[in-house]
Amino acid sequence: MYYLFTPVEKLSGVGPVFQRKLKRMGIKTVEDLLWHLPSRYEDFSKLAPIAKVKAGEKCCVAGKILEIKTAKTWKRKMFVTQAIIEDESGAIKVVWFNQPYLTKTLKDGDRVCLTGKADWDKDGFYISGPAYEKIYDENTDLTHTGRIVPVYPETEGLSSRWLRFIIKPLLKQFQRALPETLPLSVLKEHNLMPIGQALVNAHFPDSLPEAEKAKERFAFEELFFISLFVLRERSLLANERAAAAPMNLALVQRFVKMLPFKLTDAQKKSAWQILKDLEKPRPMNRLLEGDVGSGKTVVASIAALNMAKAGYQTAFMAPTEILAKQHFQSLGKLLAPFGLNVGLLTGKTDKFISKKLPGEPIEISRKKLLEMTSKGEGIDILIGTQALIQDKVKFGNLALVVLDEQHRFGVEQRSKLCQRQKNQQSIVPHLLSMTATPIPRTLALTIYGDLDISLLDELPKGRKKIITKIVAPANRQKAYDFIGEQIKKGRQAFVICPRIDKDKKNGKTKSALSWAEVKAVKEEYEKLSREIFPELNVEMLHGQLGVKEKEKIMKDFSRGKIDVLVSTSVIEVGIDIPNASVMMVEGADRFGLAQLHQFRGRVGRGPHQSFCFLFTDSSAKKTSQRLNALVNTEDGFKLAEKDLTIRGPGDFFGVRQWGIPDMAMASLTDLKLVEKTREAAKEILTGDPFLKNYPLLCQRAERFRQRVHLE
Ligand code: ADP
Ligand code: MG
């Protein structure tokens, strides 16, 4: 008698070797085994009369063994087992290689069922190396042959045959004993298979439509749980308290008037939505989604300004120092006329700059900056990197957190910054996340379903289309010549070096990887500065440079002192250099579409016609499909949808950590199903907001929380 939590090593047939292999696949308990679902099936449910077997086709036959024997070929030193099998229609030869023990289990006169491929030699048809199974009587329950046979994602040397052998008896035991995880009303309304039946049919279906129906249930279940979890988190957050800051319309209008440009309608609308949220005493959880260059920073500035004038602090976190520095400068400039204190806090240096505006940035010590921040009125906006989430950074009066490029942060970091500020009567800050990685609709409704979304769906007027080209290796020189001409015209260029992928087998450490990238950058830099553009000013930028060096390079680049900047993907996000007009990406196939789109967004930010050149040595079909999508689409949202269809949701940011089984993964792109499951979850929560009547659902939600937060 086993339980769901029985460890696999307690099962008969699972020794230490198998246990290790199972563990490596994440299978530790009986429950894990039961939920290790097949990735596909082979239909061997129809027996073929032996006389009808054709060469080259898969077949399943059943019959009596007329004769079986094993011999060793002296020439090739191999065991060959030969048998003759007969049914009413005829007889056929069967051959197995190197399985001498077969003659111990299969004897003359036994009845067997075989599945395999038929072949042809000079003596006629024969079946080579088929799967076999003994038939004792007409009630024999076949596992590997004569039925629809499950094929498992085979890894770590665990064969499907072995998994079937282990899983089938477990199913027999648990089929009727499994507690139903879905509410009965949901099962009924959506006509879903009950859990035990679904599990049996997923592993050993009697027909393919039944297997489909079983999968449907699991896909539904998975999405339903996600929705339930996310909606519940949302309502829990709605019960928290936040600082309500009244919208100061006159102030906002004054700010908007002072801008050197007109806000787009999308910017106005988003700013309005955010300001409305900030007026409420409930924490905002809003995502500002806008393509690269759509102007998210200025929208966030409006929110921060309004907050500051209402007497509250804003923390503004960016994923890189370069970006934090840039935000510090641009917010400083934008907000200069409003007399705010803006601070900058990054990771590696001890010197910090604070601004009593208007005036040039002044350096102050970290100690002083932290002191001012903790007092509340000393610093209105603190901009920084992850350094902001250190324990020693205490805010006196934090009410708004802005996360730029939120997809670059983990859930843990996000929640840490948004934690209740202890000295503030359990106030939870409002959260404004920003991203240029558009979230496809189905994901917005599922794993991102706890967010409200504001969309910047238009770019500021006058932006030119960036001309994107895939450059074949033969045309490399032409591309260099072109870059040379652009620079003669006064423009600047980026060169991005390929990402060094983590070598799975060697499991290189993070720092080794980043050193490899640095090496690539150095080599490229040498080549470009010595051979290709000896007369130009070429510089390089990578993660191993000191903060000061990086700052100097970015400053020089933005002042036009550098012509060509060779870099790792550190410049990927956010960087704003309007004079740069060429983005050249080496090893473009190593990057995802969204990331390439981000790189491309580094140019075309000023009045100049800009270009993006993608270099690749790969001729794989998927690569060219992906890169062509980039060439043909400028719209980041369409690209994200394409990426979703080409790569599947598994590669989409934030999806992996949900641990969605492969079988349900595809359903994450099924909008109808997503909507259905979300409705079902809403209905349950409306009737029972705390899931008091559904302990199993509660458990499941708890598991999600652990998984999502342990990223
Ligand atoms: P992103 O959304 O990619 O973060 P930024 O906020 O960096 O974009 O803005 C990109 C550039 O566009 C900046 O130089 C910014 O000053 C400028 N900008 C923002 N809004 C507008 C607008 N409405 N019209 C013209 N330029 C704008
Ligand atoms: Mg930005």
| Calpha distance 580→575 (Å, rounded) | 11
Which of 261, 265, 597 has most ligand 1 atoms within 8 Å of CB, for mutation? 261
| Ligand nearest to the Cα of 323, by number | 2
pLDDT of residue 505: 41
The neighbouring-strand residues paired with 402 are: 316, 432
Whose C-alpha lies nearest to ligand 1, atom 13? 295
Question: 426 alpha carbon to ligand 1 midpoint, in Å?
Answer: 35
Distance CA(690)–CA(706), nearest Å, equals 18
What pLDDT does 419 receive?
A: 67
CA 459 to ligand 1 center in whole angstroms:
8
- How far, in Å, from the CA of 299 to the mean position of ligand 1? 9
Ligand 2 centroid distance, CA of 294 (Å): 8
Helix (H), strand (E), coil (C) string for 194-206: CHHHHHHHHHCCC
- Written as six digits, the tokens of 630 are 């980039």
Which strands make up the sheet holding 611-615, listed edge to edge? 467-471, 611-615, 580-585, 492-496, 564-567, 538-541
Residue 605 CA: which ligand 1 atom is closest? 11
Which of 320, 402, 576 is the best mutation target for the ligand 1 pocket, counting ligand atoms within 8 Å of the beta carbon and taking the most? 576
437, 403 contact by CB (below 8 A): no
Give every residue of the chain whose pLDDT is below 70, as ranges: 154, 347-359, 408-415, 418-425, 499-514, 571-574, 651, 653, 663, 708-711
Q: Kindly report the length of the chain.
A: 711
User: Which letter does DSSP use for residue 155 in this model?
Assistant: -
Q: What Rg, from alpha-carbon coordinates, does the chain have?
A: 32
Which residue type occupies 436? A
For residue 267, which atom of ligand 1 is closest to its CA? 23
User: Pocket of ligand 1, candidates 256, 263, 294, 327: which has the most ligand atoms within 8 Å of its Cβ, to mutate?
Assistant: 294
| 3-state SS record for 35-85 | CCCCCEEEECCCCCCHHHCCCCCEEEEEEEEEEEEEEEECCCCEEEEEEEE
Q: Which of 143, 151, 137 is nearest to 36 (CA)?
A: 151
Ligand that lies nearest to the alpha carbon of residue 460, given by its number in the listed order: 1
Q: What is the DSSP letter of 245?
A: -
Which ligand is closest to the CA of 334, given by its number? 1
Q: How far is the CA of 432 from the centre of ligand 2 (A)?
A: 13
Ligand closest to CA 256: 1
Q: Which ligand is nearest to the CA of 292?
A: 1
CA of 405 to the centre of ligand 2 (A): 7
Q: How many A from CA of 598 to the centre of ligand 1?
A: 14
Q: Kindly list the distances between the CA atom of residue 90 and the CA atoms of 63, 83, 376, in Å, as whole numbers in the listed order.
A: 9, 14, 91
Integer angstrom CA distances of residue 60 from 185, 330, 659: 42, 72, 37
Q: What pLDDT does 424 receive? A: 56
Which of 297, 383, 461 should be mutated for ligand 1, with most atoms under 8 A from CB?
297
- Ligand 1: residues within 6 Å at CB? 261-264, 267, 290, 292-298, 436, 460, 574, 576, 605
Residue 292 CA, ligand 2 centroid: distance in Å = 7
Give which of 696, 705, 655 is closest to 195, Cα–Cα.
696
Shortest-distance ligand to the CA of residue 289: 1
Please give the distance, rounded to the nearest whole angstrom, from the Cα atom of residue 323 to the centre of ligand 2. 8
Residue 7 in 3-state DSSP?
strand
42-76 confidence digits (pLDDT tens) = 888 888 899 888 888 888 999 999 999 998 887 77
Q: What is the pLDDT of residue 317?
A: 93
- Which of 558, 583, 663 minimizes the C-alpha distance to 222? 663
Q: Where do we find the tokens 């950074």?
A: 393
pLDDT at 711: 43
Report the DSSP beta bridge partners of residue 495: 566, 584
Going from the Cα of 479 to the center of ligand 2, the distance in angstroms, rounded, reads 29
**Kind of pairing, strands 564-567 and 492-496?**
parallel
The residue whose C-alpha atom lies closest to atom 5 belonging to ligand 1 is 295
Place of tokens 């490596």: 24
DSSP for 552-617 reads HHHHHHHTT--SEEEE-GGGSSS---TTEEEEEETTGGGS-HHHHHHHHTTSS-SSS--EEEEE--
92-124 b/e with 16+ CB inside 10 Å = b?
Answer: bbbbbeeeeebbeebeeebbbbbbbebeeeeee
Q: Are the beta carbons of 132 and 112 closer than 8 angstroms?
A: yes
CA distance 387 to 416: 12
Residue located nearest, by CA, to atom 23 of ligand 1: 263
314 membership: H or E segment, kind and range? strand 313-317
What atom of ligand 1 comes closest to residue 330's alpha carbon? 16
> Nearest residue CA, atom 14 of ligand 1?
576
Q: How far is the CA of 576 from the centre of ligand 1 (A)?
A: 9
The token pair that represents 199 in the structure block: 């599990």
- pLDDT of 542-566, one tens digit each? 878 877 888 888 889 988 999 999 9
